[in-house]
């Protein structure tokens, strides 16, 4: 199948993301348009502490209108490597530095309309090492035993897609460690 980009225009240049409208010629010759959210790549971290807990954060998500239980995550800054971002974010969000940061996979968050790619890291050897949190983040740190966290995910009690995908990608490695 061949899709041909005819034209692309920025329709909203935002602080956190940009919306672009692409006009495409489809393989059958028809044309259509796609609205695409351009977003920097990001990381999601699966932090496993020495007691066998996964360290989550709970935060209010206005779009969902809920406090959600999530794994620590954040946007990769321009020029920053994904692992460096993961090391920074885990310190900012849960106040712990990782002795070991292991890449376990990645995924597109919403490939139907967004360019955001998330890199997944397993963080172990956690020690105190807080960094100042982002000024607009109000996070509650929640360590949860691994078995309970997986049960919450399996039972639909963690409605955050990045956390679910990260748990799935890290699950085999987690079972080897605990």
Walk along the chain (178 residues) in steps of 10 and give the mean pLDDT of each run: 94 95 97 97 98 97 95 97 98 97 97 97 97 87 97 96 98 94
Question: What's the confidence (pLDDT) of residue 134?
Answer: 81
Question: In sequence order, which ranges of 58-160 are alpha helices (DSSP H)?
Answer: 82-94, 146-154
Q: Which of 89, 137, 142, 176 is catalytic?
A: 137
Distance CA 157, CA 149 (A): 9
Residue 131 and residue 157 in contact, taking contact as beta carbons nearer than 8 Å: no
Question: What's the confidence (pLDDT) of residue 1?
Answer: 75
Nearest to 153 by CA among 165, 145, 143, 164: 164
Question: What's the confidence (pLDDT) of residue 127?
Answer: 97
Q: What is the pTM of this model?
A: 0.94
Question: What's the confidence (pLDDT) of residue 67?
Answer: 95
Question: What's the confidence (pLDDT) of residue 153?
Answer: 97
Q: Is 137 among the residues known to form the active site? A: yes
């Amino acid at each position: 199948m061949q899709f041909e980009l005819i034209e692309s225009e920025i329709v909203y240049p935002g602080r956190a993301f940009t919306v672009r409208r692409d006009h495409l010629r489809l393989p059958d010759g028809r044309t259509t348009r796609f609205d695409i959210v351009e977003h920097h790549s990001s990381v999601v971290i699966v932090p496993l502490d020495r007691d066998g807990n996964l360290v989550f954060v709970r935060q209010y998500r206005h779009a969902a209108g809920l406090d959600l239980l999530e794994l620590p995550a954040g946007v990769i800054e321009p020029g920053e490597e994904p692992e460096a971002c993961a090391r920074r974010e885990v310190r900012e969000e849960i106040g712990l530095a990782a002795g070991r940061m292991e890449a376990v996979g990645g995924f597109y968050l919403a490939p139907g309309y967004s360019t955001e790619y998330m890199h997944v890291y397993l963080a172990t050897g956690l020690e105190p090492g807080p960094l100042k949190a982002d000024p607009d983040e109000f996070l509650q740190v929640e360590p949860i035993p691994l078995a309970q966290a997986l049960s919450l995910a399996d039972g639909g009690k963690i409605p955050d897609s990045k956390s679910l995908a990260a748990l799935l990608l890290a699950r085999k490695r987690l079972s080897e460690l605990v």
